[in-house]
Structure 1
Amino acid sequence: MGLRVFVDGPNGGNPVPLVRHAAGMSAQDMQAVAARHGHESAFVFASETPQADWTLRFFVPRHEMEMCGHATVGALWALRAWGEWTTPTARVQTRSGLVDAFWDAAREQVWVSQPPVEQSALAPALAARVLGVLDPLQRAHWHAAVVNARTSRTKTLARVASVAELDALAPSLDQVEASCAAADSTGLYPYAVVAGTGGAPVVAARQFPRSSGYPEDAATGIAAAALWGHLASTGTVPLGTPAAPATTTVLQGVAMGCPSAIALQARFGADGQPAGCWLGGRVVWSAL
C-alpha cells in the first residue's frame, strides 16, 4: 500500500510505503521494505500498551527511525479511510513516545502532536562548517544564527535570505553526513521566510538528511515542527489563540519537483498556554 503525504501539487508530497498488518515482521524485514522502495516506510502493529490505539514503527533504507511525522500522518489517514479509526481522537505508540492525533473532518485531514521545541545555537566554527556544506560556492545570504532544534529528532536550521537562494542551493552532499554528525543532528534544514507575521505565514524549506539513504526529502514533518517551534519562540510566526490557532505552512520539495505543504498550529494545553504543536497536511493514495 502506498501514500503520498503533505501533497501540494502534481508529484507532490513524500511517499510512504505502508504495511497495514505488520505482525510477525522482523526489523530486517521492515528495513528491506524501505530499501526496496527507497523511502521512509511505516508499519502498523497492534498496540503494545493500553495507552495507545496502535504501535507504529518506521524504517528508512539504512536504519530504523524513532519517529516519522509524515508517515504517522499517512498511516493514521489510511486507518481512517479503512474504517479502523472511527473516534475523534487517537493515540499511537512510537519509539520516541506517545503521539496524539485528531481527525479534522472539515479538512479531511489528520493532525498529529509534537512536544515543545528544544533548541541551541551552534558554535561559530561549527555553524560556518554547516553553511559551507550547504553553500559551497558562497552565493547565498544567510540570516540569524545556525540553530539545532528538536521536537522528536534534532535538525540543524539555517535561514537564507530568499526562496530563490534556497532553491539554488547545491550542497556538498558527500559532506552532509559528517557535518550532521559534528552538529549532533539528523538533517540540515535551510529555510526562507516567505511572509511575515501578518496573515497566514509561509516558510520555504529543504531537508538534506544525515544518513537515510537518499540525498533530499520532499517533505519532513519532524523538521517542520522543529522549525515552527524555533520561529514561534522568536515571534516570527504567530500562535493565535486556543479558539483560533494560527496556521503556518512550510513549503518543501519544490526544488525537487515534488511540491509539498506542511501545516502547523500551536497545541494549547488545558491552561491555555502553548504546549508544542500540531502538524498535518493532505494525503493521497499512491502506487508504489
Structure 2
Amino acid sequence: MTHQHIPDRRYSDRAFLVNVFSNGPGGGNPAPVVVDARGLAGEAMRRIAATHGHESAFVLPGRDSSDYHFRFFVPNHEMEMCGHATLGAIWLLDQLGRLALKDVSIMTLSGPVEARVDGGQARITQPKGWCNTVEDIGAVLEVLGLQPSDLFDYPVQNAATSRVKTLVPLRSVELLHGLRPDFSRVTGVCDQIGSTGLYPFALVDAKAAIFSARQFPRSSGYPEDAATGIAATALAWSAWELGLTSQHRVVVRQGEAMGRPSRITIERDGDRCWLSGDAELIREMPL
C-alpha cells in the first residue's frame, strides 16, 4: 500500500541546508532541501540552486505509486538523480517528524528509489549498475594532465547506476590529490565520451575496499564536488563487476584534496546496492 506524504505548508517559504557525507571538520557536501516545493516551477528551483551554489533537492507529493517525488537541480540545470541530496532530504524529513514510516519510496527522473532511516542515518537504493571500457582515453588523460603511465592496470570506464561517470584509475592517492584539470575543457570531453563527470580514483586499502576519488562534473556550475554518491556507487559497481574487490561493502573517500573530507558507503544487496552516509543540519534559509 502506498502512503501519500504531503509536505507541511509551514516549510513552503524556506530551505534547509543539510550537510551529507562529512568525514571530519569542514567536510561533506551541503544540499539545500525544500521540503514543500509544490508552489515552485522548475526554473524557480534552478534559481534556488544557483543562489545557494549547491545541488538542491525539492520534495513533492508522491506519484506513480511512490510516497514522494523528488526533483534535483544544480545551478545550471535539472539532474535526474542526486545521491547526497536524496539522503539529506530523507534524513531531514525524519528529523522534522514528516516520515510516517521508516521505509519509503521515492520517484526521481532516473527511476524509483527506496529509502530507509535506521538509527538516525538515511540509506537509499541504487539499481544494478553497468560499466563499459572507454577505448579512446587520450582526451580524458589530457584534460586531467595525466600520462598513460599514471594509470594502474584497470580500464578507464564509463559506469553508472543512475548517471554516467567516467572512472579513471590512478596509481596513487598522491597523483589523485595533485591533479590540476583544465576545467575549461571538461564539458567538451564529457560530451565526447557520453559522461556527466570525470571521476579519477585510487585504491587506498584493497582488503578493506577503501578508495579515494575526486569528481569533476560536466556542467554543474562549479568545478569540483566534495562528495558524489552517484559517482561512488558507479565506482563500487565497477569494482565488483571487474573483480577489483570481493567485499560487499565499499567505502569511497572524497573531498580531501579540497579540504572537505567526505566518506561515502556503498553496500551490495543482490542486484542493487545501498548508499549511505552521515548527515547534519547546518541552518534554515529563506527561499
TM-score, normalised via structure 1 length: 0.90
- Equivalent residue, structure 1, for 2:128: 116
Q: Tell me which amino acid in the other structure corresponds to 1:142.
A: L
Identity among equivalent positions (%) equals 44
1:24, distance to aligned residue in structure 2 (A): 1.4
Shift of 1:90: 1.0
Secondary structure of the residue aligned to 2:63 is coil
1:29-48 map, 5 Å: 29-48=44-63
- 1:134-188 deviations in whole A, cap 9, x for unaligned? 125x497112221000110100001001111100000111110000000100000
CA distance in 2, matches of 1:154, 1:134: 18
- 8 Å Cα contact 2:57/2:89 also seen in 1: yes
Matched with 1:70 is 84
1:198-217 equivalent positions in 2, closer than 5 A: 198=207, 200-217=208-225
Deviations 1:44-87 (A, max 9, x none): 111123x2111110000000001001000110000111111142
In structure 2, how many angstroms separate the alpha carbons of the residues matched to 1:190 and 1:219? 13
1:153 aligns with 2:155: no
Q: Distance in 1 between matches of 2:87 and 2:149?
A: 33
Q: Distance in 1 between matches of 2:246 and 2:274?
A: 14
8 Å Cα contact 2:83-2:229 kept in structure 1:
yes
Aligned counterpart, 2:272:
276
User: Quick one: which of 244, 249, 252 aligns to 2:251?
Assistant: 249
Partner SS, residue 161 of structure 1: coil
> Contact (CA 8 Å) 1:121, 1:145: kept in 2 or not?
yes
Which shows bigger deviation, 139-148 or 210-219? 139-148
| Long gaps (5+) in structure 2 | 1-15
Contact 2:165–2:231, Cα closer than 8 Å, also in 1: yes
* Aligned positions of 1:130-141 closer than 5 A: 130-135=140-145, 138=147, 141=150
> Are the aligned partners of 2:263 and 2:277 in contact in 1 as well (CA < 8 Å)?
yes
> Does residue 1:142 correspond to 2:151, yes or no?
yes
For residues 254 and 164 of structure 1, the distance between their equivalents in structure 2, rounded to whole angstroms, comes to 11
* Separation (CA, whole Å) in 2 of partners of 1:250 and 1:237: 13
How many pairs align?
268
Q: Which runs of 4+ in 1 moved over 3 A?
A: none
Q: CA deviation at 1:23?
A: 0.5
